């Protein structure tokens, strides 16, 4: 491992992601970059329940992960003995789902006699833009918006994260998903609601922007579903009305996210914003942010669309950085449902 610190030394990692309802595997090489990434989404499995069923998720990861490992190694043209380390998502996430990836990763690492590292899922999201040809410089502000989290984070470097603000209740993705459900849209609701919103008329409805008029960088989205429920009771919910409501929901969420992200740039005096997590795929958010950051002379960076949502390439980026810094753990198979991001060890290499 010591040699790995020196530039030019070959280093190739296999990465596994299984924190929720996506089974994913990637191979990343320190010099050649991303060699393969494979993903199986369980979305069809969970759709009839209207959300992720943890036990079903775990069982499906068990079925999917090993074939995905084989497929990723094949498409990366890599033999197992050509790997130098293994990264896997240790948390936060569904504990059973995490354990399937952790157990497989640790077992492979043990069999191959290479180090393994448990990666923080949110660090993966934060570092996903580093996979792009034009990577964001440090320091920057990250807006991490997913189904489980809505956070503004000051990113001083890899491993140096300062939480600036987060949601007090529902995450932005959760707000999309819950209001989508009220509109009768299929799970997962975010993309479906965004699609419906594209047909809506601006301004037909207006929903609250909680905490926007108060100082600070916290969010609160739980009131939105109540407001939508209330609005839907007052009207005949025709397709046109549902589209208008979807437009107004998206507008409320997007305007709040944009305003707080700009406030965070202003308060930290940073000029670079990174947007990551599943909601980062939202087109309206991207358009509004592009205009807003240009206005203040800042720049915004995203991972490519497929790396906004859960994937293993982002786990590989974080894992590779930490393994190269000499970090790895003992043989214990660990998974954590909760894991504060600012408790991560800093990167010293």
Binding positions for Zn ion, rule: CB under 5 A: 146, 310
> Pick from ligand KG4, Zn ion, none: which does 279 bind, CB < 5 to 8 A by kind?
ligand KG4
Q: How far is the CB of 79 from ligand KG4 (least distance, A)?
A: 31
Please say which residue, 118 or 190, places its beta carbon nearer to ligand KG4: 190
Count Cβ neighbours within 10 Å for each residue of 33-42 and write b for 16 or more, e otherwise: eebbbbbbeb
**CA distances from residue 66 to 30, 86, 118, 246, 324 in whole angstroms, order as listed:** 23, 14, 18, 40, 25
Q: How far is the CB of 218 from Zn ion (least distance, A)?
A: 20
Q: How far is the CB of 176 from ligand KG4 (least distance, A)?
A: 4
Please say which residue, 182 or 313, places its beta carbon nearer to Zn ion: 313
Query: How far does the chain reach from its first CA to its final CA, in angstroms?
Result: 12
**Rounded to the nearest 5 degrees, what angle is found at the Cα of 14, between the Cα atoms of 11 and 20?**
145
Q: What residues pair up with 162 in beta bridges, in sequence order? A: 154
Q: How far is the CB of 176 from Zn ion (least distance, A)?
A: 14
> Pick from ligand KG4, Zn ion, none: which does 191 bind, CB < 5 to 8 A by kind?
ligand KG4
Please say which residue, 30 or 121, places its beta carbon nearer to Zn ion: 121
Which of these, 135, 137, 17, 15, lies nearest to 84 by C-alpha position?
15
> Pick from Zn ion, ligand KG4, none: which does 315 bind, CB < 5 to 8 A by kind?
none
**CA distances from residue 96 to 15, 59, 106, 227, 305 in whole angstroms, order as listed:** 18, 9, 15, 35, 27
> Pick from ligand KG4, Zn ion, none: which does 89 bind, CB < 5 to 8 A by kind?
none
> Pick from Zn ion, ligand KG4, none: which does 188 bind, CB < 5 to 8 A by kind?
ligand KG4
Q: How far is the CB of 97 from ligand KG4 (least distance, A)?
A: 12
Edge-to-edge strands, sheet with 160-166: 160-166, 150-157, 140-145, 272-276, 299-301
Please say which residue, 23 or 146, places its beta carbon nearer to Zn ion: 146
Q: Which residues bind ligand KG4 (CB under 6 A)?
A: 20, 146-148, 173, 176-177, 188-191, 194, 277-279, 281-282, 309-310
> From the CB of residue 313, how many other CB atoms can be counted at a distance below 10 Å?
27
């Amino acid at each position: 491992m010591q040699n790995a610190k020196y530039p030019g030394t070959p280093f190739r990692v296999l990465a596994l992601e299984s924190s929720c309802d996506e089974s994913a595997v990637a191979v990343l090489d320190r010099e050649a970059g991303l060699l393969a990434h494979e993903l199986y989404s369980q979305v069809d499995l969970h759709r009839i329940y209207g959300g992720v069923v943890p036990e079903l998720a775990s069982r499906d990861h068990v079925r999917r992960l090993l074939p995905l490992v084989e497929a990723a190694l094949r498409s990366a043209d890599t033999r197992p003995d050509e790997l130098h380390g293994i990264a896997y998502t240790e948390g936060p996430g569904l504990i059973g789902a995490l354990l399937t990836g952790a157990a497989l990763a640790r077992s492979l690492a043990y069999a191959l006699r290479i180090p393994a590292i448990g990666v923080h899922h949110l660090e993966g999201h934060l570092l996903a833009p580093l996979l792009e040809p034009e990577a964001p410089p440090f320091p920057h502000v990250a807006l991490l918006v997913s189904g489980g989290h809505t956070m503004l984070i000051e990113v001083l470097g890899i491993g140096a994260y300062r939480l600036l603000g987060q949601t007090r209740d529902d995450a932005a993705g959760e707000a999309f998903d819950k209001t989508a459900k009220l509109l009768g849209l299929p799970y997962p609701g975010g993309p479906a609601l965004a699609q419906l919103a594209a047909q809506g008329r601006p301004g037909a409805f207006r929903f609250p922007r909680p905490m926007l008029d108060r100082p600070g960088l916290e969010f609160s989205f739980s009131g939105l579903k109540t407001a939508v429920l209330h609005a839907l009771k007052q009207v005949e919910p025709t397709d046109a009305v549902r589209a208008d409501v979807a437009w107004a929901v998206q507008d409320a969420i997007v305007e709040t996210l944009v305003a707080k992200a700009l406030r965070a740039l202003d308060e930290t005096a940073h000029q670079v914003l990174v947007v990551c997590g599943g909601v980062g795929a939202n087109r309206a958010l991207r358009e509004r942010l592009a205009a807003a950051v240009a206005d203040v002379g800042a720049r915004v960076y995203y991972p490519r669309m497929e790396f906004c949502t859960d994937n293993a390439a982002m786990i590989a980026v974080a894992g590779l950085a930490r393994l190269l810094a000499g970090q790895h753990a003992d043989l214990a198979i660990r998974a954590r449902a909760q894991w504060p991001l600012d408790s991560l060890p800093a990167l010293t290499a």
